[in-house]
Chains A and B, each alone.
Chain A
């Protein structure tokens, strides 16, 4: 005898052993049940408990449309709930089966929303499904690896809020990676220098002054580097102040602390910096030309804080033994790295130039030495190329 529970509505069924491995439709809600062969002495449910019922009291669970097609969609299962009862987990010995999953008495879940005289009184609030990271639908039947952190102890998770206190300010980068926004708290007299239009909001204690900064050469260099001529200076004149900064495109923000060393930034990546940091354009010669991303990289040097942004998520990678990045995906890199722009190596030597022309990857930036590279997961260029096809054509 096999005992299973409907993954959708928790209705329990007892079935003959001959149905093992087959699929059946739930009589109550129409969801598909996978009938698993009984493991020795175990009555494990065929599927993990859906979170909306595990997390919420049963009487709040509204299932008015159990017969509609929505019922066939497996519910959103948060990461924390999937992993301990992963159905595909190969290593469940008898000792591992938690006694709590033994079949309870079959309880019928109310299928209708309680009705009240006041039409607004009983509308339940939209449930927030708890999840470690904002993720797409998780398919409970697939053994997907869902680790929020890129596996590098030095680099935080891609969607984690970043907080810190520096000698100049307190900062918090939230809503990562899609709509990242930075909040900074400055003490009275504190200053930051920002690209125009980066500021989103600020307290009235902050004073804004626009101007050229760093002399003609540096100003012109910034212009070549894809940044504005003007740098705005924000000063917390009338007491401590707070400013929010965000990038132009939906994307991520990263923070880096400079300790006398330098950082190169790709065109348009610069957002703002604290005192002690000098930002200037740097002529890259042929290297910059071939990068296809503009002639000049911005160079930030000194001692202080710098913030930069991207289209797409930013992923920091610590390079120790050689690394290659498609030129369009570089956001920033440390000066301690040597770099050169080249076609994908290994192809030129054999005379297979075709990967350069047809391989799509085209030019890559080859890094050597040790240091950190920040890459972005999308590039605006690809989006523009795609949307270009939808532009209307001139009728003549």
Chain B
């Protein structure tokens, strides 16, 4: 599978070129356009893998759709165009045996060689991290495509690093994070507008997004007519 990322970072779209027999698993609704030589299959599990209903349900809690779409090319050089719904970037991450923990709604597509599973990060994180209840755990080998709201920037964490809630896209599982205060006192943190933050520790890669959807939504919401 070859890929090309275009119109970055605000209007990003990924063009995937697949050869006959290759297939890719996408978030439902991610497909924008495609060649005619694809078969499309909608299931609640990884292609060829286990999972089924339980995993589908867990994914649903992770902010992902219950179903997954599998696109399999039946002819050479078939193109598939995928993109996220909101303005933002698309990122390619080549997974080579490691594990990447992806924020629920940031997963866009992955190679069939990648196992996608929702993972529970604990009650405190679920309530206060500003992200979904579950995270998507991606492991195996292959290409992984993530999307963000705003631009994505990578951070090489060695030791500790602090990210505001709602800005995490993904992180390598060699990192751990816990919820903490931004300042030395809770009141100071809240007054400072930062409230609670995610504190990472360990060594590994972390990907953050420049903007966070709830902040933008809360900015727009009160200006709109009531439902």
Contacts and interface: CB of A to CB of B under 8 A. Distances in A.
Interface of A: 23, 25, 31-32, 69, 72-74, 133-137, 139, 141-148, 150-151, 158-159, 177-178, 250-252, 312-313, 315, 317, 321-326, 329, 344-347, 352, 354-355, 358-361, 366, 373, 375, 377-379, 382-383, 385-394
A312 B224 CA distance: 23
A390 B224 CA distance: 9
B153 A344 contact: no
Contact of B226 (A69, A135, A394): A394
B100 to A, nearest CB: 12
A199 B34 CA distance: 35
A151 B6 CA distance: 10
23 contacts: A32-B156, A74-B156, A135-B9, A136-B8, A137-B152, A142-B93, A144-B5, A151-B4, A251-B11, A313-B7, A322-B35, A324-B33, A347-B40, A360-B28, A377-B83, A378-B83, A387-B224, A390-B217, A391-B221, A391-B227, A392-B226, A393-B227, A394-B227
A31 B156 CA distance: 9
Given A145-B4, A346-B39, A377-B12, A390 B34 contact: no
Contacts of A317: 33
Nearest to A381: B85
B33 A142 contact: no
A360 B29 contact: yes
Given A25-B158, A143-B94, A315-B13, A158 B6 contact: yes
Does more than half of chain A's interface fall in helix, strand or loop, or is it mixed? loop
Place the interface of chain B in its size category: 35 or more
Q: Which 5 A-B pairs have the closest CB atoms?
A: A322-B36, A390-B221, A360-B29, A382-B85, A313-B7
B6 A150 contact: yes
A313 B36 contact: no
Contact of B13 (A148, A325, A377, A391): A377
Interface of B: 2-13, 15, 28-42, 65-67, 69, 81, 83, 85-87, 89, 92-94, 151-159, 161-162, 203, 205, 213, 217-218, 220-222, 224-227
A383 B11 CA distance: 13
Contact of A386 (B40, B85, B153): B85
Contacts of A135: 8-9
B40 A329 contact: no
B72 to A, nearest CB: 10
A69 B161 contact: yes
Contacts of B12: 377
Given A31-B156, A377-B6, 12 more contacts: A74-B156, A134-B9, A145-B4, A145-B5, A151-B15, A322-B36, A323-B33, A326-B31, A344-B40, A359-B40, A361-B28, A391-B226
Nearest to B224: A391
B191 to A, nearest CB: 21
Contacts of B28: 358-361
B85 A378 contact: yes
A324 B36 contact: yes
A366 to B, nearest CB: 7
B123 to A, nearest CB: 24
Contacts of A144: 5, 92
A139 B81 CA distance: 23
